[in-house]
């Protein structure tokens, strides 16, 4: 049983984090229904098709988060390589036609029993399970183990390039760099790896013509306004027409088959059109609060690995949110990334709620005077 001090430590950070995530999820559910009901009715004959599936995803993710929150976070790090190895196996399955599902030329999903799952969403988390203990205990690791660990960390990136999934590739690279920087990994090696990682990222970006085309479209979307620049221009129009307070919930015009992925990657555009600048600021503020309490919780935890895990997982959510918002606002080239807890999607929702469960698990485990 926890004493009063331990309960206070746990609730001081877990309650705000859960409250913020709950608010974002509820808000996101409303916006998924608002942005998808016409498209849903046209495509599936039911206006509730997407929102019902989204609520099921939320229910599954919430149950998973609750179960995970009751575990010790040390379990996930102790068996991090095994868990990460399983995630890599799922990622490999996307390359086999019998189980891999290809959408718009990208083989990112595994289809089993009519259920599609995107393993790359899970890789973002398991990569941290595997990398964080390795980075923090690098000097104590044998040469053989370093080679094995290096292969475990690098191999998923090769598959992500093959899929292709440059968005997840970029996020994983950023999270890997962050967790490495925050750990006790030798700085002389870190800066070398940082340079190599940056060079590889740029190289991968320019390896495929369509990525180069996205960069060119980002620089001047109006040049190809009816093709590659169409989506971002429609996003501009949605955000601009919303003005300060928006057209009102449910009154978006862009979601009427003008804006592709209105209920997914570009749901923030619909928020801007229906709820205006105020709505977008509220969304940004919620993620800022999540970042604030996540980092505050990381600083409060005395266990070093727990501190690194909370900080890295917090940044995993916020980094993707920033990248998504950057794309929607035309500040970054277009890439397939959704808005965490808001966009429609089962894999993303379930994994992001799993992340929340891990954060609460770490706080719960370390609530006993920091002894994990």
pTM as predicted: 0.93
101: β partners: 109
What does the pLDDT look like over 121-136, one tens digit per residue?
Answer: 999 999 999 999 999 8
Going by C-alpha positions, the residue among 133, 137, 177, 183 that lies closest to residue 157 is 177
User: Taking a C-beta distance cutoff of 8 angstroms, is the pair 177, 128 a contact?
Assistant: no
Q: How confident is the model at residue 369 (pLDDT cuts 50, 70, 90)?
A: very low
What does the pLDDT look like over 316-352, one tens digit per residue?
Answer: 999 999 999 999 999 988 887 899 999 999 999 999 9
pLDDT at 161: 87
Going by C-alpha positions, the residue among 199, 182, 156 that lies closest to residue 309 is 182
User: Taking a C-beta distance cutoff of 8 angstroms, is the pair 74, 84 a contact?
Assistant: no
> Once rounded to an integer, what is the mean pLDDT over residues 26-49?
93
CA 347 → CA 90, 111, 127, distances in Å?
13, 12, 16
Mean pLDDT in the chain?
A: 89
User: Taking a C-beta distance cutoff of 8 angstroms, is the pair 306, 73 a contact?
Assistant: yes
Domain positions in the chain: 4-365
Q: Annotate 21-30 with b (16+ C-beta within 10 A) or e (fewer).
A: beebbebbbe
Q: How confident is the model at residue 5 (pLDDT cuts 50, 70, 90)?
A: low
pLDDT at 175: 93
CA 182 → CA 199, 295, 362, distances in Å?
21, 12, 17
């Amino acid at each position: 049983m926890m004493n009063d001090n331990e309960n206070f430590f746990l609730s001081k950070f877990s309650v705000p984090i859960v409250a913020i995530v709950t608010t974002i999820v509820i808000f996101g559910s409303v916006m998924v229904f608002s942005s998808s009901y016409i498209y849903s009715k046209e495509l599936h004959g039911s206006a509730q098709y997407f929102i019902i599936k989204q609520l099921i995803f939320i229910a599954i993710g919430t149950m998973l988060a609750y179960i995970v929150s009751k575990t010790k976070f040390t379990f996930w790090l102790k068996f991090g390589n095994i868990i990460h190895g399983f995630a890599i196996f799922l990622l490999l399955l996307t390359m086999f036609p019998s189980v891999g599902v290809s959408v718009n030329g990208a083989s990112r999903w595994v289809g089993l029993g009519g259920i599609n799952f995107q393993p790359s969403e899970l890789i973002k988390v398991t990569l941290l399970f595997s990398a964080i203990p390795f980075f923090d205990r690098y000097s104590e690791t044998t040469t053989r183990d370093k080679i094995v660990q290096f292969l475990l960390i690098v191999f998923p990136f090769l598959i992500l390039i093959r899929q292709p999934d440059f968005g997840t590739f970029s996020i994983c690279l950023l999270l890997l760099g962050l967790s490495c920087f925050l750990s006790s990994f030798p700085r002389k090696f870190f800066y070398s790896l940082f340079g190599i990682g940056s060079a590889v990222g740029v190289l991968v970006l320019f390896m495929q013509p369509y990525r180069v085309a996205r960069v060119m479209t980002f620089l001047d979307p109006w040049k190809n306004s009816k093709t590659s620049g169409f989506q971002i221009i429609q996003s501009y129009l949605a955000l601009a027409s919303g003005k300060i307070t928006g057209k009102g919930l449910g009154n978006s015009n862009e979601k009427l088959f003008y804006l592709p992925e209105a209920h997914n990657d570009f749901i923030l555009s619909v928020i801007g059109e229906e709820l205006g600048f105020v709505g977008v600021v509220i969304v940004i503020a919620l993620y800022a609060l999540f970042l604030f309490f996540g980092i505050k919780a990381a600083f409060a935890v005395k266990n070093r690995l727990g501190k690194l895990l909370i900080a890295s997982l917090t940044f995993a959510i916020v980094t993707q949110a920033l990248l998504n918002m950057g794309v929607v606002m035309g500040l970054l080239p277009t890439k397939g990334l959704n808005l965490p807890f808001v966009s429609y999607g089962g894999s993303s929702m379930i994994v992001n709620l799993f992340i929340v469960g891990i954060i609460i698990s770490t706080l719960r485990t370390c609530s006993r005077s920091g002894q994990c």
